[in-house]
């Protein structure tokens, strides 16, 4: 019988710590509500100290919330110890047993559960095939690369068949190329198994690549939750826009509508943007412009001056000044196009529909 998938729900969760320097209490996580759907891959993303790891550790049972309740499926789990929760954690440090080989590392949790030897062997061999380590079960952990060690840690967590798999920055010890390879593997395995996954990282590109939903946290609260596309194209604040990818902030006074677009007075220019609800004439607004949503030309658009022009292979990286505002842009595939040099005057051409007013 197939195991019923379970989600995770946090209701008004808070965690309070004492600052060792001042002796005052502060909220690491404050009055947080979250609902993670069964079978989904959700990433907690944010800067250091935002509360993402504390949230993960409370789901795992390594920390206890001071306020609120955590549910796994419909079961409240605040009072359950980590080993009694239907979860498993993949750690940043792998936490492998150095004197055990791959088989015994993966089988460790099953042996604690006192399963029969033949059942343990069947489950371990099946999971090693899933993580592409078949035939290596006799190797010691010190004979493995970082990527292989991470696969062992993943297999050890999966083999006990938890309802929720938790990841605490599992790829931060790997080099850049291996990180990309392993994040793809983790996503493949999660989708194949159909398990609910909660993943903590500070790497924006990692979060974008693997997530069904991204939860961006700031100072202990959820700043925004949505799909990678929603977070990137429709950030609710400057913090979110600036944290997920590169962003330019074009500030101007709303002067009215021009057909379907709102018009901002930006550095003496009329900047058209998709309108935001309840915009009021005369008030200041900020439009978010992603670097890939603009290019340079000889005419039209906004007059500007190039202050940085740098070849990056796949794109030409420009910094230009529009009046007193710095704008960063990426002109992709620049090989057969004109490259503007530092000091040149030109025109900034903006994809109006790609702007987003916050």
3-class secondary structure, 291: helix
DSSP state of 130: H
Residue 2: pLDDT band with limits 50, 70, 90: low
> Which of these, 73, 77, 74, lies nearest to 65 by C-alpha position?
77
Q: Please report, to the nearest 10 degrees, the dihedral formed by the alpha carbons of residues 260, 262, 263, 266 taken in order.
A: -140
311: Cβ contacts below 8 Å, ≥ 6 apart: 317, 334, 339
Cβ–Cβ < 8 Å for 71, 62: no
For the purposes of burial, counting CB atoms within 10 Å of the CB of 206, is it exposed (0-12), middle (13-18) or buried (19 or more)?
buried
Confidence check: pLDDT of 155 > 70:
yes
**φ, ψ of residue 312 in degrees (nearest 5):** -115, 15
Confidence check: pLDDT of 233 > 70:
yes
**φ, ψ of residue 263 in degrees (nearest 5):** -120, 125
Confidence check: pLDDT of 137 > 80:
yes
- The per-residue pLDDT for range 54-109, each reduced to its tens digit, is 999 999 999 999 999 999 999 999 999 998 999 999 888 777 888 889 999 999 88
Could you tell me which CATH number the domain at 246-357 has? Answer: 2.40.50.140
Every domain of the chain and the residues it spans: 8-242, 246-357
**φ, ψ of residue 30 in degrees (nearest 5):** -130, 115
Q: Any idea which fold 8-242 has?
A: Rossmann fold (3.40.50)
**φ, ψ of residue 86 in degrees (nearest 5):** -85, 55
């Amino acid at each position: 019988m197939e195991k019923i998938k379970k989600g995770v729900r946090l209701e008004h969760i808070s965690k309070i710590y004492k600052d060792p320097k001042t002796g005052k209490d502060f909220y690491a996580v404050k009055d947080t509500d979250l609902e993670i759907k069964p079978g989904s891959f959700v990433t907690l993303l944010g800067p250091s100290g935002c509360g993402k790891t504390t949230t993960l550790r409370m789901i795992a049972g390594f920390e206890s919330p001071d306020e609120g309740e955590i549910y796994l499926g419909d079961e409240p789990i605040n009072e359950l110890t980590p080993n009694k929760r239907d979860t498993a954690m993949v750690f940043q440090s792998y936490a492998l047993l150095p004197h055990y080989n791959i088989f015994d590392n993966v089988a460790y949790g099953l042996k604690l559960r006192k399963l029969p030897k033949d059942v343990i062997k069947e489950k371990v061999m099946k999971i090693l095939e899933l993580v592409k380590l078949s035939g290596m079960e006799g190797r010691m952990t010190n004979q493995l690369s970082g990527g292989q060690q991470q696969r062992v840690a993943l297999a050890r967590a999966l083999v006990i068949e938890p309802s929720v798999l938790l990841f605490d920055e599992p790829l931060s010890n790997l080099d850049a190329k291996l990180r990309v390879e392993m994040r793809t593997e983790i996503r493949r395995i999660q989708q194949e198994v159909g398990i609910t996954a909660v993943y903590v990282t500070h790497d924006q590109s990692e979060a974008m690549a693997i997530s069904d939903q991204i939860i961006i946290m700031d100072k202990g609260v959820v700043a925004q939750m949505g799909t990678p596309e929603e977070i990137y194209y429709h950030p609710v604040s400057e913090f979110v826009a600036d944290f997920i990818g590169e962003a330019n902030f074009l500030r101007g006074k709303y002067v009215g509508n021009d057909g379907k677009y709102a018009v901002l007075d930006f550095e003496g220019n009329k900047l058209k943007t998709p309108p935001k609800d309840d915009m009021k004439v005369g008030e200041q607004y900020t439009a978010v412009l992603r670097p890939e949503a603009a290019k340079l030309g000889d005419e039209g658009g906004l007059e500007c001056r190039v202050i940085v022009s740098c070849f990056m292979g796949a794109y030409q990286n420009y910094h230009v000044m529009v009046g007193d505002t710095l704008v960063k842009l990426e002109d992709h595939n620049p090989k057969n196009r004109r490259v503007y040099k530092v000091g040149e005057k030109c025109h900034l051409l903006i994809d109006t529909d790609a702007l987003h007013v916050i």
